[in-house]
A and B are shown apart, each in its own frame.
Chain A
Amino acid sequence: MSSETQKILTTDGIPLEESLKKAEKKNKIKAFLLVCPLLLFLIITYVFPIGDMLFRSVDDRMVTNMLPKTYKAMEQWDGKELPPEEVFEGFYLDYKKLVEEKTFGKLATQLNYEKNGFKSILKKLKRKMKKFEEGNYKEQIMAVHSRWANVEYWRALKRRAPAYSYSKYLKGVDMYENEDGKIVQVSEDRRIHKILWVRTVEVAFFVTVFCFLMAYPIAHLLATLPMKYSNLLMICVLLPFWTSLLVRTASWMILLQQQGIVNDFFVWIGLVADDNRPEMMYNKVGTYVAMTQILLPFMVLPLYSVMKTISPSLMRAGKSLGGTPFVAFWKVYFPLTIPGIGAGCLLVFILAIGYYITPALVGGASGTLISNHIAFHMKSTLDWSFASAMGLMLLSGVLAIYWVYNKLVGVDNIKLG
């Protein structure tokens, strides 16, 4: 082979590559214009909010910007003993400005997140500050409250100095950076987030398993029944899908409550005593039942679309070659449905892990999931950065699952329809 590659020319003598590019250019522009609206939509509604969320979860500039002089003076401070006079002076000047601007409340809230007790001493400081004399602020501030003389509070103040921090993420897994700058777990009685994470994964996992167990036979029936029956069955599968999520969840509440239909039935057939009706609502049972029902179509449809493509002659071939019906199913049919199983499980698991409405309504205290906690921080505590951090942790968890799935099964094997 010659090392020189000959340039291929068109009949008119233009290099072929160039000519091809020219010819394709128009089509490429057309294609781009067609995709453009979607691209913009995605950027505006997806990339941008997630970027904002990511930023918000680490953004800690509020305190930094409120106390510029304090933090400037603190740069010299080693944090071992009480800070020098300059820090106190800086803090006094910063805080005075905040009081004048009437934004000191935010600072109090933020610092109280960092260390309990900040709020009250800041309020006290605000009252006493009016009578402060110039100079020697250290002693004047320390005289306001004994906590101002406690180095812990100043350390806590210093911890908020960086403009960006990952402390919200640590909080999300029940950890924090202690006074020595080490990452440690919070005390055992306050580890609420870990329980939520574990419960969320557990619920998502079991809902996926239940969905799979129920959807597989349904999908198989759908794929093998004659058209007129399979259409009817398909409508039965899809009908709940077209009903409002709230209506479905509410109907589960009617069915499952202690005086509900299911309990009535159990009492009637003598399974349970009338005065001993089991709780099926406001706990994990309710969450499992309602979520499984709601997410079932997401498992059925991918399975169905894969099963539909499996020729019935394959099972017949398996049997005619001597395999029992079970062997033919297990060695021939089942492996061919794996792409559908993968797609369905991934879909249901991902939907379940971030599920909100159903656990919020039927979950009760022991059935709430991480998403309910995120909503709680969005709406009640207004700690948006913490909510963002948790949301991103959830997102990265989902991406991690996707990655593992890709490694194990391969994403090319997913078939959604």
Chain B
Amino acid sequence: MPNNEQFVRFDKVDKSYDGKVLVVKDLNLDIAEGEFITMLGPSGSGKTTCLMMLAGFETPTNGEIYLDKNPISNIPPHKRGIGMVFQNYALFPHMTVYENLAFPLRVRKVSKEDTDKKIDKALSMVSLTGFENRMPGQLSGGQQQRVAVARALVFDPAVVLMDEPLGALDKNLRESMQYEIKHIHESIGVTVVYVTHDQGEALTMSNRIAVFNDGKVQQLSSPDKLYEEPVNSFVAEFIGENNRFSGQVTDVSKDKCKVKLDDGSEILANPIVVKSSGEKTIVSLRPERALINTKEKMENNFKGKIEEVIYHGDHTRVRLSLLGNKDFILKVPNSSANMDIKLGNQINVSWNSFDARALDPK
């Protein structure tokens, strides 16, 4: 596909509301045509501000945003042709579903025939055919959400922005809507910029995820890379579960480093950002990468004491105190081999140095 790799482009964008604090700092972000990109981050990290700048409701304090190579800072929102799904859906409560969907078409002077066709198509896409004459107030949250999606897509915009659209739905509905939106994206190939603070949502839906913190993109990569290979300790901590050890690097070789932990013991880790011995570091290890009582030969082997056991059905979460860390989490698969997990027992825990990522000491 001859996709335009810089379909949407943030170029050195800064944003400040009060002239004192930068909520977005030097943002450089390229979004390819047809991509599903998610801006993920805690509240106040600047992700919604970015979305609002793209939609045209906020102006960048510095820098420029390009849409298909055209700068758009001076184009008012209604001329940008960007569809948007709002957090609370923002359906027009005094209009029927049909009128809501017809609104963007009417202002574009689409003929009645085409309007009907497009609305039919959009409603069938979100499986709400037959709901044309309902008022938004008569729909459930999930249905309203789908109408909002249909409305944002009905005028064939090049880009659709979604600002935490699933935040108000309950868990089951949220999950099924995630798939539905993902499938809609796949079937029509529109570029989607999605904002959420729910990492599960981001991992499920996106082609790429931009993790925001403190007004900056911390990491921009595909979901698997983001989880497996976080580039800094914020991302490691923010995405998924994470066991942390803080310590000091004592020796660095090509793909291994020795880290002396605060309690005096030494572990082997994968040097991601550390360059030389003497640096402070935080070593990050995913819970499922540490195994118990394994026969495999691994580089790090330690004994830990079981502090807490939480039964989750398919797996058991175990909290250990290990190497001075009292919150070391393990996920143990539910199998007959792992029956001796009892409170207070000592068990062997092992992991490879490759999975223990030595990151910045924040």
- The interface-forming segment of B65-73, B88-96, B278-286, B344-352 is B88-96
Residue of chain A at shortest CB distance from B154: A321
> What is the size category of the interface that chain A forms with chain B?
10 to 19
Determine whether the beta carbon of B57 is less than 8 Å from that of A321.
no
B83 an interface residue at 8 Å Cβ cutoff?
A: yes
- In the complex, A320 has a CB within 8 A of chain B: yes
* Interface assignment of B171: CB less than 8 Å from any CB of chain A: no
A335 adjacent to B94 (CB under 8 Å): yes
Whether the pair A319, B82 counts as a contact (CB closer than 8 A) is no
Residues of A within 8 A of B142 (CB): none
Chain A residues lying within 8 Å of B152, measured Cβ to Cβ, are 321
The reply to whether B107 and A313 contact each other, CB–CB distance below 8 Å, is no
Q: Is B203 an interface position by the 8 A CB rule?
A: no
Q: Assuming A321-B107, A322-B108, is B90 touching A316 (CB within 8 A)?
A: yes
Count of B residues near A, CB < 8 Å?
28
Assess whether B141 is interfacial by the CB under 8 Å rule. no
Q: Is the interface of A mostly helix, strand, loop or mixed?
A: helix
Bound CA–CA A221/B103 (angstroms): 26
- Contact residues in B for A321 (Cβ distance below 8 Å): 78, 83-84, 103-104, 107, 151-152, 155
Q: Could you tell me the distance between the alpha carbons of A317 and B136 in the complex, rounded to whole angstroms?
A: 15
The B61-113 residues at the A interface (CB cut-off 8 A) are 76-84, 86-88, 90-94, 103-104, 107-108
Instruction: Give the residue among A317, A319, A325 with the most B Cβ atoms within 10 A.
Output: A317
A314 touches B78 (CB 8 A): no
B55 at the interface (CB under 8 A from A): yes
Question: Among the listed A311, A323, A324, which residue makes an inter-chain contact with B103, where contact means beta carbons less than 8 Å apart?
Answer: A323
When chains A and B are docked, how far (Å) is the Cα of A319 from the Cα of B88?
A: 16
CA of A323 to CA of B95, assembled, Å: 15
Contact present for B93 and A313 (CB under 8 Å): no
Query: Which of A319, A331, A335 is the one whose CB lies under 8 Å from B76?
Result: A319
Docked CA distance A317–B163 (Å): 12
Bound together, the chains give a CA A318 to CA B151 distance in angstroms of 11
The yes or no answer to A327 lying at the interface (CB within 8 A) is yes
B87 touches A319 (CB 8 A): no
A-B contact pairs, 20 of them (CB 8 A): A313-B88, A313-B90, A314-B90, A316-B55, A317-B86, A317-B90, A319-B57, A319-B77, A320-B56, A320-B57, A320-B84, A321-B78, A321-B84, A321-B104, A321-B151, A321-B155, A322-B78, A322-B81, A323-B103, A325-B78
Chain A interfacial positions (CB closer than 8 Å to B): 311, 313-314, 316-325, 327-328, 331-332, 335-336
Additional 18 contacts, C-beta under 8 A, given A316-B86, A322-B155, A327-B107: A313-B86, A316-B84, A318-B103, A319-B77, A319-B78, A320-B56, A320-B82, A320-B84, A321-B84, A321-B104, A321-B155, A322-B78, A323-B103, A323-B104, A324-B107, A325-B78, A332-B92, A335-B94
